[in-house]
């Protein structure tokens, strides 16, 4: 016979003001199998928990239902209290009468009736609960960081500096990401590469970090503490172990007119190349699609030039399997293609460029050596128009969200322009100046007051070419007048968007993403660096548009999550796992295929003489995550989920 204790929490006024807790307690007190039913103002408080423990001991309770807030809040609290009183913690369940009842109803009587239903349904479930024991799984103490931009490098360094192994995977030939492309950084105007490259070198030289550049993630299997990751090491066609990075091959390569990705198309590179001078590792790769030898079967000048015979045209992609305990995803962002804004003339006029292209123009390592020159004729522009929100905050053509960094970098661009081209005029069309952050508003004020950036509040409707000038027609809404500016160059503050393959990638590694392709965090406020998949963490702009300080902070935060995970030898897991009834299993293996964790194996059942009787599915408790996918798939209802058995769920439904 069950002896269930029901504990009804007022949660101050949260529940007490809407639900008549006294009626609730007395109704449940009369329910068959309920031995004790009491109410209290705050059961989560120390005296509240004590009263639960006392009731368990006094009444020899076999199960506990706490009617309170969401189990996300205090399930752990009450299960622990039950365990301290000698009850198996899994005999305690939470009936949520706050989020699912008092908070969402106005009528007190009806809310109380509903609360009675909710609690009764949970009492019926607990009657059928079983004692469960937690499962222990080992943790592989090796982290995988995906993405070698500033966020990935920071996370890798933090984890490695704490003494744990890290594998850092970057798909481009060099570390660096977008930050390496920037000229100077707001709000301090320090040179991006000057602060970035030491980090890149540190990561490359760190004894605990294994660097895999020009590599991509093929597949991720397993679960928290025990991931199996397959990495594709793309063929560089250059032998990594012998190449010294002398650069002879790059100098001699005859294909010199390939648009440079690193310079956003305004600079050129060769077919065998390193993306930039400070590339880490400083080992070139051959771009198969542009290389004369790969296209025509003739050339091989690099082979003849290389003093160490490092070039190998026969090289193939290689695969490597890694055992990983935790993953940090730091795959970054892309800038939106502005070709869809026909009115701005991007793609039509050479001197209409994106903010990132301007960064390359202003960068000392860029194609112009840091001189601001028009891509069309190399002249120094006398007037530059900056258009903010070119894509951001535009639900009709662009993206709905604010890209967060554009107000700041546009102010920076205006300053850099003022410093590099004395007497140059800058005009900035903006919607709002969003400069929240340490030193940020001071920075934009400085652009306006000291560097004479001309801010015009309004949008641009059209850009066209007239007598060699880019005519920009917009509106100054503060004056209420249309304006026309003859400019030499137009810079679009393009939106930050997710990587084009972000959704595909999210599916490969098994994390969620939003409508834009940014990866979803487990909780926007309280778990911002965790993905919804245990053991996979997020850092940087792959989660949402971010500037450098935010990306670095989030990277360190994910590193601390990884280190917390690695601080224990074993991981204790909830025993909510699938169990198969072998006598009814038809052995169709649908569950084997459906299981996202590869936790179900085929098992032979033999008779005493070793003859095969039948084959059934068998769940590996170490691998099972208790997601229940197999349960829903099983046609004969042979698989059940401990803690959420069909019997329990059925009783719960029937209790309503």
Paired tokens of 400: 């709905």
E strands in 26-154: 34-40, 63-68, 92-96, 135-138, 142-146
Greatest extent of the chain over all pairs of C-alpha atoms, in Å: 96
- Kindly give the residue spans of alpha helices, DSSP state H, lying in 501-586: 502-509, 548-566
Binder among 116, 220, 585, 642 for another protein (CB under 8 A): 585
Our finding on whether 587 is near another protein (CB under 8 A) is yes
**593 belongs to the binding site for another protein (CB under 8 A):** yes
Q: How far is the CB of 506 from another protein (least distance, A)?
A: 10
**Residue 647 near another protein by CB under 8 A:** yes
d(CA 407, CA 428): 10
Among the listed residues 588, 598, 605, 620, the single contact to another protein using CB under 8 A = 588
Q: How far is the CB of 147 from another protein (least distance, A)?
A: 20
Nearest residue (CB) to another protein, 162 versus 627: 627
In the complex, minimum distance from the CB of residue 211 to another protein, in angstroms, rounded to a whole number? 28
Structure tokens at 18: 């809407």
Q: For residues 180 and 281, what is the distance between their CA atoms, to the nearest angstrom? A: 14
* Both structure tokens of 49: 């928990």
How far is Cα 7 from Cα 25, in angstroms, rounded to an integer? 8
DSSP 571-587: EEE----EEE-TTT---
Cβ proximity to another protein, 159 vs 498, nearer residue? 498
Span near another protein by CB under 8 A; candidates 19-27, 109-117, 436-444, 579-587: 579-587
String marking each residue 596-635 x if it binds another protein according to CB under 8 A: ----------------x--x-----------------x-x
What is the spatial distance between Cα 41 and Cα 48, in angstroms, rounded to a whole number?
A: 8
Round to the nearest angstrom and report the end-to-end CA distance of the chain.
Answer: 21
Specify the stretch interacting with another protein by CB under 8 A; choose among 40-48, 182-190, 542-550, 644-652: 644-652
In whole angstroms, the minimum distance from the beta carbon of 586 to another protein comes to 5
CA 187/CA 191 separation, integer angstroms: 11
Binding residue for another protein, selected from 256, 304, 462, 507, defined by CB under 8 A: 507
Q: Which residue number, 298 or 635, has a Cβ lying nearer to another protein? A: 635
Residue 636 binding another protein, by CB under 8 A:
yes
Q: Which is nearer to another protein, 385 or 624 (CB)?
A: 624
If one asks whether residue 437 binds another protein (CB under 8 A), the answer comes out as: no
Please identify, using beta-carbon distances, which residue of 377 and 504 lies nearer to another protein. 504
Closest distance to another protein from the beta carbon of 615 (Å):
7
Q: What is the closest distance, in whole angstroms, from the C-beta atom of residue 108 to another protein in the complex?
A: 33
Strand spans (E) along 250-292: 258-259, 268-269, 272-273, 285-286
Binding residue for another protein, selected from 13, 484, 504, 601, defined by CB under 8 A:
504
Q: Which is nearer to another protein, 105 or 503 (CB)?
A: 503
Instruction: State yes or no: residue 586 binds another protein (CB under 8 A).
Output: yes
Q: Which strands, in side-by-side order, build the sheet including 460-466?
A: 460-466, 469-476, 481-487
Compute the least distance from the CB of residue 634 to another protein, in Å. 9
Q: How far is the CB of 644 from another protein (least distance, A)?
A: 13
The residue from 377, 462, 637, 656 that contacts another protein (CB under 8 A) is: 637
CB 279 within 8 A of CB 269: no
Q: How far is the CB of 628 from another protein (least distance, A)?
A: 14
Of 240, 572, 650, 656, the residue at the interface with another protein (CB under 8 A) is 650
How many Cβ atoms are within 10 Å of 113's Cβ, its own excluded? 18
| 130 SS3 class | coil
Interface with another protein (CB under 8 A), residue from 247, 437, 575, 590: 590
CA angle, residues 15, 122, 3, in degrees to nearest 5: 110
Is the dihedral angle over the CA atoms 360, 366, 368, 372 positive or is it negative?
Answer: positive
Q: Does the footprint of another protein cover residue 579 (CB under 8 A)? A: no
Taking the complex as a whole, the smallest distance from the CB of residue 602 to another protein amounts, in Å, to: 8
Q: Is 226 helix (H, G, I), strand (E, B) or coil?
A: strand
The H or E element containing residue 605 is strand 600-606
- Of 319 and 650, the one with the shorter C-beta distance to another protein is 650
Q: Which stretch in 19-27, 277-285, 315-323, 643-651 sits in contact with another protein by CB under 8 A?
A: 643-651
What's the CA gap between 370 and 353, in Å, rounded? 16
- DSSP designation for 534: T
Closer to another protein by CB, 135 or 649: give it: 649
Cis peptide leading into residue 187 (ω within 30°)? yes
Q: Binders of another protein: how many residues, by CB under 8 A?
A: 25
651 touches another protein (CB under 8 A): yes
Three-state DSSP at 200 gives helix
User: 130 or 584: whose CB is closer to another protein?
Assistant: 584
Residue with tokens 């991981």: 571
Nearer to another protein, 334 or 638 (CB): 638
> What's the alpha-carbon Rg for the chain, to the nearest Å?
31
Site membership for another protein, residue 313 (CB under 8 A): no
646 touches another protein by CB under 8 A: yes
CB 200 within 8 A of CB 280: yes
User: Does residue 393 sit in helix, strand or coil?
Assistant: strand
CA dist., res. 94 & res. 74, Å (int): 8
Could you say which of 241, 396, 467, 583 contacts another protein (CB under 8 A)? 583
Contacting positions for another protein (CB under 8 A): 504, 507-508, 583-591, 593-594, 612, 615, 633, 635-638, 646-647, 650-651
């Amino acid at each position: 016979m069950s002896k269930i204790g029901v504990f009804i929490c007022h949660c101050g006024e949260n529940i007490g003001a809407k639900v008549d807790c006294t009626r609730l307690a007395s109704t449940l007190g009369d329910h068959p199998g309920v031995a004790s039913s009491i109410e209290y103002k705050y059961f989560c408080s120390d005296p509240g928990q004590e009263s639960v423990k006392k009731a368990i001991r006094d009444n020899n309770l076999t199960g506990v239902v706490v009617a309170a807030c969401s189990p996300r809040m205090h399930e752990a609290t009450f299960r622990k209290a039950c365990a301290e009183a000698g009850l198996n913690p899994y005999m305690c369940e939470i009936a949520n009468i706050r989020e699912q009842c008092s908070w969402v109803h106005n009528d007190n009587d009806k809310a109380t009736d509903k609360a009675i239903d909710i609690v009764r349904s949970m009492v019926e479930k607990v009657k059928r609960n079983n004692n469960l024991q937690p499962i222990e799984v080992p943790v592989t103490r090796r982290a995988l960081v995906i993405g070698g931009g500033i966020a990935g490098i920071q996370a890798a360094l933090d984890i490695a500096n704490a003494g744990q192994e890290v594998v850092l995977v970057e798909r481009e030939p060099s570390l660096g990401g977008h930050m390496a492309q920037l000229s100077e950084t707001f709000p301090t105007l320090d040179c991006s590469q000057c602060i970035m490259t030491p980090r890149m070198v540190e990561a490359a030289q760190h004894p605990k970090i294994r660097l895999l550049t020009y590599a991509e993630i093929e597949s991720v299997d397993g679960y928290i503490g025990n991931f199996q990751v397959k990495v594709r090491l793309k063929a560089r066609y250059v032998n990594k172990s012998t190449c010294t990075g002398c650069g002879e091959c790059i100098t001699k390569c005859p294909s010199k007119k390939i648009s440079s990705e690193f310079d956003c198309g305004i600079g050129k590179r060769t077919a065998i190349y390193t993306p930039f001078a400070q590339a880490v590792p400083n080992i070139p790769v051959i771009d198969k699609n542009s290389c004369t030898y790969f296209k025509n079967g003739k050339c091989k000048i690099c082979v003849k030039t290389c003093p160490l015979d490092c070039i190998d045209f026969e090289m193939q992609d290689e695969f490597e399997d890694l055992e990983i305990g935790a993953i940090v995803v730091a795959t970054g962002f892309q800038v939106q293609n502005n070709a869809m804004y026909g009115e701005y003339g991007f793609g039509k006029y050479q001197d209409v460029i994106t903010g990132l292209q301007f960064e390359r123009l202003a960068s000392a390592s860029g194609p112009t050596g840091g001189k601001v020159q028009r891509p069309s004729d190399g002249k120094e522009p006398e007037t530059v128009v900056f258009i903010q929100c070119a894509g951001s905050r535009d639900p009709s053509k662009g993206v709905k969200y604010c890209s967060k960094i554009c107000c700041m970098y546009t102010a920076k661009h205006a300053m850099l322009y003022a410093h590099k081209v004395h007497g140059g005029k800058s005009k900035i069309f903006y919607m709002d100046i969003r400069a929240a952050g340490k030193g940020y508003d001071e920075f934009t004020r400085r652009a306006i007051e000291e560097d004479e950036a001309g801010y015009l509040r309004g949008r641009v409707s059209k850009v066209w070419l007239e007598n060699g000038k880019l005519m920009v027609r917009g509106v100054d809404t503060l004056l209420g007048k249309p304006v026309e500016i003859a400019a030499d160059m137009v810079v679009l503050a393009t939106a930050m968007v997710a990587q084009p393959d972000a959704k595909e990638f999210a599916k490969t590694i098994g994390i969620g993403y939003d409508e834009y392709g940014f990866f979803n965090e487990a909780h926007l406020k309280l778990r911002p660096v965790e993905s919804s998949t245990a053991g996979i963490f997020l850092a940087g702009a792959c989660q949402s548009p971010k500037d450098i300080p935010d990306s670095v902070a989030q990277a360190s935060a994910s590193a601390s999550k990884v280190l917390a995970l690695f601080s224990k030898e074993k991981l204790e897991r909830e025993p909510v796992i699938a169990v198969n009834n072998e006598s009814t299993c038809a052995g169709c293996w649908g569950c084997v295929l459906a299981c996202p964790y590869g936790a179900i194996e085929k098992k032979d059942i033999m008779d005493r003489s070793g003859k095969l009787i039948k084959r059934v599915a068998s769940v590996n408790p170490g691998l099972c995550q208790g997601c229940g996918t197999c349960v829903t798939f099983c046609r004969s209802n042979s698989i059940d989920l401990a803690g959420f058995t069909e019997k329990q769920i059925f009783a719960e439904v029937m209790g309503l």
